């Protein structure tokens, strides 16, 4: 399986001609959806989900399908069986990838901000994308896609999350609001210049890929 990082929270997992796109939001170039076999969407915030962009992709490719939660699916009405609603504990086959679903709620931004639905996806028993939450799956994770920065997170929480998941490796996502300086500071805290974690951490630049 090949992992390709796109803008902010979006990644593409590829195996042969199969391309599974996760969270192609507003901070991601539209080309991330080109030749997509299927799309997974963790929640409705615009940095993860742009309704018009997903509708356009579905109209352009009649074979394309989406797996997501109820609140996102409600914004894609009229597309029939091509939009599949899943929730915590579900196990589905998506474009030939085995996918399990974990979590229910977005992390708390502030007590005054209502929490929305958020699900994480574990793909192929290997790669876990938690969306905007610090969900710890009840099964092993080889590669954690780590939301390194958000209005709802602290560096301490991010470090403790990596330690809790105990993945074999972690790659940064949800980093579109950080400057190079901020990326270096967080990378240091997750690595040898900070409290650190047992899990090796690295960041792919948008467009970069790695074989898993």
Q: What pTM was computed for the model?
A: 0.96
- What residues have CB less than 8 Å from 125, skipping those under 6 apart? 98, 100, 139, 140, 142
pLDDT band at 192 (very low <50, low <70, confident <90, very high): confident
Kindly report, residue by residue over 117-160, the tens digit of the pLDDT: 999 999 999 999 999 999 999 999 999 999 999 999 999 999 99
Q: Which helix (H) or strand (E) holds 10?
A: none
**Other beta carbons less than 10 A from residue 144's beta carbon:** 25
**Other beta carbons less than 10 A from residue 124's beta carbon:** 18
Return the bridge partners of 100, or none.
91, 122
Per DSSP, 105 falls in state B
How many helices (H) and strands (E) the chain has is answered by 4, 14
95/182 Cα distance (integer angstroms): 36
Average pLDDT of the chain, as a whole number = 97
Q: What is the pLDDT of residue 80?
A: 80
Kindly report, residue by residue over 66-117, the tens digit of the pLDDT: 999 999 999 999 888 999 999 999 999 999 999 999 999 999 999 999 999 9
CATH number of 2-204: 3.60.15.10
Q: Which residue's entry shows tokens 């993860």? A: 48
């Amino acid at each position: 399986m090949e992992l390709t990082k796109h803008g902010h929270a979006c990644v593409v997992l590829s195996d042969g001609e199969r391309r599974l796109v996760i969270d192609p939001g507003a901070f991601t170039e539209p080309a991330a959806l080109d030749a997509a076999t299927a799309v997974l969407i963790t929640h409705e915030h615009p940095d993860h989900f742009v309704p018009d962009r997903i509708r356009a992709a579905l109209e352009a490719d009649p074979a394309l399908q989406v797996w997501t939660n109820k609140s996102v699916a409600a914004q894609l009405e009229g597309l029939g069986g091509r939009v599949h609603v899943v929730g915590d504990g579900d196990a589905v086959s998506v474009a030939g990838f085995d996918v399990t679903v974990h979590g229910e709620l977005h992390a708390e931004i502030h007590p005054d901000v209502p929490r929305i639905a958020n699900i994480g996806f574990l793909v192929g028993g290997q790669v876990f994308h938690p969306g905007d939450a610090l969900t710890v799956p009840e099964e092993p994770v080889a590669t954690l896609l780590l939301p390194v920065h958000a209005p709802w997170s602290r560096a301490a929480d991010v470090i403790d999350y990596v330690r809790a998941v105990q993945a074999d490796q972690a790659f940064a996502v949800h980093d579109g609001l950080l400057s190079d300086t901020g990326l270096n500071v967080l990378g240091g805290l997750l690595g040898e210049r900070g409290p650190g974690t047992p899990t090796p951490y690295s960041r792919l630049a948008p467009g970069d890929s790695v074989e898993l």
